[in-house]
Structure 1
Amino acid sequence: MTEFEDQGLPLTALAVAAGRAVETTRPDALAADPFATGLVEAARSHVDFPTVWPAHPEAAPPLQQPLLLASIYIGLRTRFIDDFLEQRQQTAQAVILGAGLDTRAYRLSWPAGARVYELDLANVLDFKAAVMASFAARPACELVSVTADLSQPWEQPLLAAGFDPQQPTTWVIEGLLPYLSANAQLATLQAVLALSPSGSRAVIERAVPLPAGEDVEAKLRDFSAQTGLSMGELLARANPPDPARLLEAAGWECSEHPIRELCVRYGRTISLTATDGSAQGRPLKRESQDTGQSRGGFVTAGLPAHT
């Protein structure tokens, strides 16, 4: 396999790819990404991302346990979006906003003649393309990579790449909105509305609103000190638009899916549990206390034909 020097890839993109790699190795895997481990290894990150679900997760190094816990959520999210994309209402055109190291263009079934647009930063898309080429992997669709900073307007680069705003489109907004300011989230959702004719559909991972209060502000100050992000930048994300309300006002039919629904649907709990006979099923110290409620859940939506 070709080796690649550090290219300044976002750690979040690598962490999500590692989460898919871990999910793929589980005996009860909800999704399989045969490329995820290779992408993580090729990045040669200084972070020791786990790529295998261990037989005894409680024995994993303390720094890896939160990553293993996150992989459970990533597995749920991946399967949910995969299922949505492979439903019967597939469109011939799809857009993945903030594609990162996602490999759905390679590993899912797409309609004949489908075109998939992936938008992200140039170094992310270039790295992924080079690694996938080193695997001799071929997309199962026409894959179009579009360089864009999604915190800024991105419609023109998409249109310049050949996107047809008159054609029904499937939109995937996964893991993006939480990293945008509330204003940028609104602009992104409005752009989706403007570029979507009847017959379009979308799956959107929500951003979590931050409740007001001194406790929250204290936590934000601590987070700001740890990450170097300004309080202003953090507070700019505090009151995100509600995707369901915005789309419904534009005539879309929406369904909301909290994380608890996904856990029930796919038979998962967001916790690390012992697998030895003496403690079968007993939650360990590392577990989510809210079964994912700290996350925003998902919205699926479709724009019906005008009557």
Structure 2
Amino acid sequence: MTALAVAAGRAVEASRPDKLIDDPYAAALVENAHSLQDWPLVWPPNPLDAPPLHHPILLASTYIGMRTRFIDDFLQPAEQTPQTVILGAGLDTRAYRLPWADDARVLELDLATVLEFKAEVLAGLSAELGCELVSVPADLSCSWAEQLQAAGFDRSQPTTWVIEGLLPYLDADAQLLTLKEVAALSAPRSRAVIERAVALPRTEDFGAKLREFSIQSGLPMSELLARADPPDPARVLGVAGWRCTEHPVQELCSRYDRRISLTPDAETPEMPDAETPDAGPPAAQRGGLVRAWL
């Protein structure tokens, strides 16, 4: 469901006249899932007139568009390493839609069902790969290093790591494990781009929203609260000798001249105020991105 929501967000962004990204496959991936969820796939002429159930994805699509463009720019061929690892790849189509060096190798990790569905749909669309693609089924809430190396990952080669839309959905321990495995597997001249998760606010109001979301989603409060104090990727990698730069959401808004709002002239950004499966983490959890170099 989360992978479909993000694909819908990319489809919406790619439909805009001022689009930041070009993803010719996102809408088809959503449509071929035959989900009962009514996903918007285009940016409407007047977003405020869209059905209220579409508003969360329309809002999220602006953030998803900026996040996607930022990472796409990081992956330009001139800066590529021999291998790129995308953790929590979901329905991402960068292996197909981005320019890659002739010898580029991309390893995608996610649940087998997600990777298999994506491969089937893209094969049906006759989508052409721009690189060698290796799909690695893995549960990213646990250690995944063994599966990655068994799939042919070469830890002696520099690696580009992409961690997008993953950490906010892992508990704090799993986030730390992921970051430590990235550090342990990285050769000199490796680099990473990471979407961070930030601490949940410890207020009664937010606690009430979490309880409501727990009831609606079936996720126990203990699981939600396990995300409350996540590790800082810049600090974890910094201790391991990486050089890091931090890029908050407001920087992305300035860089790409976007507002996360259904009204383009709004003074302040609007965001969903509670975590929902179709909108992703709330504004308080959108921690921006970190770039890192070893």
Range class of TM-score, shorter chain: over 0.9
Corresponding position: 1:296 with 2:287: yes
Alignment partners' CA distance in 1, 2:132 and 2:115: 15
Structure 2, gaps ≥5 residues long: 274-281
Summarize the Cα distance change of 1:285–1:110 in structure 2 as closer, same or farther, 3 Å threshold. closer
Summarize the Cα distance change of 1:127–1:284 in structure 2 as closer, same or farther, 3 Å threshold. farther
* 1:160-198 residue CA offsets vs partner (Å, 9 max, x unmatched): 000000100000000000111100000000000000011
Corresponding position: 1:243 with 2:233: yes
Whether the 8 Å contact between 1:272 and 1:284 is mirrored in structure 2 is no
CA RMSD of aligned residues (A): 1.9
Q: Secondary structure at the match of 1:94?
A: strand
Give the match for residue 205 of structure 1: 195
| 1:92-241 matches, cutoff 5 A | 92-241=82-231
Alignment partners' CA distance in 1, 2:251 and 2:208: 31
Whether the 8 Å contact between 2:106 and 2:134 is mirrored in structure 1 is yes
Which residue, 54, 68, 74 being the options, matches 1:84? Answer: 74
| 1:56-67 matches, cutoff 5 A | 56-67=46-57
**TM-score (normalised: structure 1):** 0.89
Whether the 8 Å contact between 2:29 and 2:118 is mirrored in structure 1 is yes
Q: Secondary structure at the match of 1:28?
A: coil
Which residue, 9, 18, 23 being the options, matches 1:33? Answer: 23
Alignment partners' CA distance in 1, 2:171 and 2:77: 31
Give the match for residue 7 of structure 1: none
* 1:43-83 residue CA offsets vs partner (Å, 9 max, x unmatched): 01101101111111111111111211111111111101101
Structure 1, gaps ≥5 residues long: 1-10, 274-280
Summarize the Cα distance change of 1:262–1:183 in structure 2 as closer, same or farther, 3 Å threshold. same
Letter aligned with residue 193 of structure 2? V
Alignment partners' CA distance in 1, 2:272 and 2:110: 33
Whether the 8 Å contact between 1:91 and 1:111 is mirrored in structure 2 is no
Summarize the Cα distance change of 1:292–1:219 in structure 2 as closer, same or farther, 3 Å threshold. closer
> How far did residue 287 of structure 1 move?
2.8
Alignment partners' CA distance in 1, 2:18 and 2:283: 20
Q: Secondary structure at the match of 2:216?
A: helix
* 1:242-266 residue CA offsets vs partner (Å, 9 max, x unmatched): 0000111111000000000000001
Alignment partners' CA distance in 1, 2:151 and 2:227: 30
Whether the 8 Å contact between 1:116 and 1:144 is mirrored in structure 2 is yes
Alignment partners' CA distance in 1, 2:270 and 2:228: 25
Summarize the Cα distance change of 1:289–1:122 in structure 2 as closer, same or farther, 3 Å threshold. closer
Whether the 8 Å contact between 2:197 and 2:285 is mirrored in structure 1 is no
Whether the 8 Å contact between 1:271 and 1:284 is mirrored in structure 2 is no
Of residues 284-293 and 255-264 in structure 1, the stretch that sits farther from structure 2 once superposed is: 284-293
Give the match for residue 74 of structure 1: 64
Q: Secondary structure at the match of 1:256?
A: strand
Summarize the Cα distance change of 1:232–1:65 in structure 2 as closer, same or farther, 3 Å threshold. same
Q: Secondary structure at the match of 1:271?
A: coil
* 1:13-47 residue CA offsets vs partner (Å, 9 max, x unmatched): 00100111111110000001000111111001101
Give the match for residue 257 of structure 1: 247
Alignment partners' CA distance in 2, 1:299 and 1:47: 32
Identity of aligned residues (%): 65
Tell me the number of residue pairs that the alignment of Structure 1 and Structure 2 aligns. Answer: 286
Letter aligned with residue 30 of structure 1? L
Summarize the Cα distance change of 1:57–1:217 in structure 2 as closer, same or farther, 3 Å threshold. closer
Letter aligned with residue 104 of structure 1? R
Q: Secondary structure at the match of 1:63?
A: helix
> How far did residue 293 of structure 1 move?
5.5
Q: Secondary structure at the match of 1:268?
A: coil
If asked which structure has higher relative contact order (CA below 8 Å, sep 6+), I would say 2
Q: Secondary structure at the match of 2:78?
A: coil
Alignment partners' CA distance in 2, 1:155 and 1:289: 34
Whether the 8 Å contact between 1:19 and 1:70 is mirrored in structure 2 is yes
Letter aligned with residue 207 of structure 2? E
